[in-house]
Copies of this chain bind each other. A is one copy, B any other.
């Protein structure tokens, strides 16, 4: 009998954990990704604010999987999934057959019907997103230093973060710290500490998926860092360097040079292909409704995990976070192993070990094993949990060194303005 072919689309936490767990299962594994590295997206905001380098939070997929002889990595873009023919088609014309398919292609940010906002209000999902946002944040201070127009100076020093989920909260806190501490004495004409950092949230509290009291604590921490929190507020327009915000008490027009989008995500468009071919339901965010064993209805050979799957447990959908993806990846691998042995598998259960968000240099809020924690101790817990999430030991060592340095000096050496065509061309 031929060795079963398992194809995994996506090398994020879901796909990578599935691949690693399949190392000693008698199957051939092909992991397809558009990038040659696994990326720890939850720390991208630290790249965007100059605390870490992209290399610190990424690890080459080939290096992670090189000792796994049954596994190969394919760098390529999936354009189509032929469900009846059981083949995955790549952009370069190649197609790969599968016996079991694990789809873990993740999500990108989403602009609720305003795709034109992407160029003015980038989101934070890729290394390039992060270095572009870093460029914009740092260039805003540079522009403010150069201009003599007071209105323009104010506009350049107004930073808007849209969406107060963990990414938005962490981003707003990090920008405010950058302005108030790291950049102190860096300029001669402006005081970076005068920068306004606004966090815009539609719900009535920050971190809406967290317990109420932690939301309140996070908001207090943000305010201590100098962040203005606008709740029950929606961005209704972005045009000509001005953002229109619908607040509970009216409409405000806010001139801002730097807008960062942390408001919504949209699952990979492969979800739509799967839904159309299998009849599985899609939610508004493009996520595919999966069965209790994470497969698609009538298609036990297709498993969808991570941010692409909408998995209801006790009537509540699981959040799009790394622990869910990791556990689903491991579950998918286990399901394949048990099938080969002819054993039955229990439905997927999420072991909720908690969730955490950090706010600036020494504060965090979170729930760990059901216990709510906040403040300095929570920040320390956040630190160590995030170090453990880094796939390679080398990165743990480097990130720990960098964090320790940043903590004691408040310096952030990775604040490079790179990638602008105007400066990267020929020399002077």
* CB-defined contacts of A157 to chain B, threshold 8 Å: none
Pick the interface stretch among A162-170, A180-188, A209-217, A327-335: A180-188
Expressed in whole angstroms, the Cα–Cα distance for A115 and B74 within the complex equals: 35
- Which residue of chain B is the closest to A184 with respect to CB atoms? B66
Contact pick for A55, options B9, B126, B413, CB 8 Å: B413
Set of chain B residues within 8 Å of A67, measured between Cβ atoms = 185
Q: Is the CB of B37 within 8 A of A108?
A: no
In angstroms, Cα B128 to Cα A416, docked, is 11
- Chain B residue numbers with a CB within 8 Å of A187 are 62
Bound: A426/B297 CA distance, A: 28
Whether A349 sits at the interface, judged by CB under 8 Å, is no
A413 to B415, CA, bound (A): 20
By a CB distance below 8 angstroms, the chain B residues around A422 are 77
Taking CB atoms, residues of chain B closer than 8 Å to A413 are 55, 58-60, 63, 392, 394-395
Residues 166-182 of chain A, each 1 if its beta carbon lies under 8 Å from chain B, else 0: 00000000000000000
A77 x B423 contact (CB < 8 A) = yes
Contacts of A14 in B (CB 8 A): none
A419 contacts which chain B residues (CB < 8 A)? 128, 419
A107 and B74 contacting across the interface, CB-CB below 8 Å: no
Cβ-based interface call for A384 (8 A)? no
A401 near B392 (CB under 8 angstroms)? Answer: no
Chain B residues with CB under 8 Å of A145's CB are: 75
Tell me if A78 and B428 are in contact (CB < 8 A).
Answer: yes
A36-B142, A428-B78 known; A186 vs B423 contact (CB < 8 Å)? no
Interface residues of A in 26-80 (CB under 8 A from B): 34-37, 52-56, 58-60, 62-63, 66-67, 72, 74-78
Chain B contacts for A418, CB-based, 8 A:
54, 127-128
Among B77, B127, B183, the residue within 8 A (CB) of A416 is: B127
Q: Does A402 contact B (CB under 8 A)?
A: yes
> Contact between B108 and A186 (Cβ–Cβ < 8 Å)?
no
A153 interface residue (CB < 8 Å to B): no
> A397: CB under 8 A from chain B?
yes
In this complex, the interface size class of chain A, counting residues with CB under 8 Å from chain B, is 35 or more
Query: Which of A35, A55, A67 is packed against the most chain B CB atoms within 10 Å?
Result: A55
A411-B394 contact in complex given A416-B36, A418-B54, C-beta closer than 8 Å: yes
Residues in B with CB closer than 8 Å to A415 are 36-37, 60, 63
The answer to whether A108 and B417 touch (CB under 8 A), given A36-B142, A53-B55, A185-B67, is: no
Q: Give the chain B neighbours of A34 by CB distance below 8 A.
A: 423, 428
Chain B residues near A158: list those with CB within 8 A.
none
A56 proximity list for chain B (CB < 8 A): 53
Q: Which residue of chain B has its CB nearest to the CB of A143? A: B75
A409 at the interface (CB under 8 A from B): yes
Say whether A268 faces chain B, with CB atoms less than 8 Å apart: yes
Contacts of A184 in B (CB 8 A): 66
* A13 → B minimal CB distance (Å): 15
A290 to B213, CA, bound (A): 69
If A54-B418, A418-B128 touch, whether A428 touches B105 (CB-CB below 8 Å) is yes
8 A-B residue contacts at CB 8 Å? A62-B183, A76-B146, A92-B146, A105-B428, A106-B428, A269-B428, A394-B411, A398-B398
